Each structure stands twice: as structure tokens, then as C-alpha cells.
Amino acid sequence: MHTRIATLLLGFLALTVHAAGQTVTAANPASLVSALKAAGFGATLGVATTGNPQIHVTSGTNAYTLDLMDCVNHVRCVEIVYSARWSSVKNITPAQINARWSQRYNTNVVVFVDTDGALAAVTTMFTEPGGIPAGVFISNLRGWMSSTDNAYTHIVQGK
């Protein structure tokens, strides 16, 4: 019995150490999807209209897009562009949002009105050469999601 428990614990520890040491890279979109799913996000790999890989991420009722950029022939990408979009924004201009965003959050996120009239918030992360730890990627993404959600609530909706 003790041997069985010890074996299970060692197996769990080995998986934990492997997951903690996992690296992700835009050059390997499957590594990003795997890390996202392991962190509890919904993640689906697809292709953007540019032909580059694109990952659709869900967290609760919110949806985000990760576009993989600076690719060679739509593979070996080096940059992840995080984006969020809201179609119900009224009575506030992107310039006002950018000013309020910068004053409150001091981030490098760009806010703009897309060609279809939706408000978009975008930032980037580079993962090359050699990738980054999965935990760093997930932590960065969670921070960005929190900032964009808070900004939408406080700045755009005025709550």
C-alpha cells in the first residue's frame, strides 16, 4: 500500500516538475494551446485571414484572440499579439480611452476602433529565441486579461 502511494506521489511530482519546466513559443502554437488548456482556459488553434496561426481563448464568458505574427511562410512565428474586442462601445472615442487607459494602467496596450466599428485592445509578447516558461506566458496573459477587463468596466462603461 505504501509503495503504491509513493509511486503515485512520485508520478504526480514528475508531472508537476515537467509542467513547471515546460516552455512555450509562438513557433510552436500547439505548445501555447497546451499551456492554455493546462491552466484552465478554453483554447482552439485556427488560422487567421493572413494565413498565420491564431488561437481563440475563452475564460468564463470572455473571449480573446492570440494572433501569431512575424512568421516565415505562416510558421516559425516569433510574436504573439493579444487582442480583445467589444462591439457595444458608444459615446467615447479611442483617443479618450487611450488617455484614460494610460493614466490608470500605464501599460503598452493600444486601443483602437477596428474596420468593423468594434473597439479593440492589443498588446504583444515575443517568445523567441528558445521560448519562455509556460508559467510566464500564462501569468502575462492573465494580467493582460485582467487589465483589459478592468479597463472596459471602469473606463469604457464608466463603472
Q: What is the pLDDT of residues 73-102, one digit of tens each?
A: 998 899 999 988 877 666 677 777 777 766
6 inside domain: no
The predicted model scores a pTM of: 0.76
Q: What residues make up the domain containing 27?
A: 23-156
Tens digit of pLDDT per residue, the chain (159 long)? 444 433 333 333 333 334 456 999 999 999 999 999 999 999 999 999 999 999 999 988 788 999 999 999 998 899 999 988 877 666 677 777 777 766 666 567 777 777 777 777 888 888 877 899 999 999 999 988 887 777 777 666 666
**CATH code for the domain of 82:** 3.30.1460.70
99 inside domain: yes
8 inside domain: no
* Cis bond upstream, residue 129 (ω within 30): yes
The reported pLDDT for the residue numbered 144 is 85
SS (H, E, C) the chain: CHHHHHHHHHHHHHHHHHHHHCEEECCEHHHHHHHHHHCCCEEEEEECCCCCEEEEEEECCEEEEEEEECCECCECCCEEEEEEEECCCCCCCHHHHHHHHHHHHCCCCEEEECCCCCEEEEEEEECCCCCEEHHHHHHHHHHHHHHHHHHHHHHHCCC
Number of domains, the chain: 1
Nearest to 66 by CA among 47, 50, 83, 78: 83
9 inside domain: no
Query: How many residues are given for the chain?
Result: 159
Count of Cβ atoms closer than 10 Å to residue 16 Cβ: 10
11 inside domain: no
Q: How far apart are CA 45 and CA 111, in angstroms?
A: 25
68 inside domain: yes
Name the β-bridge partners of 149.
Answer: none
50 inside domain: yes
83 inside domain: yes
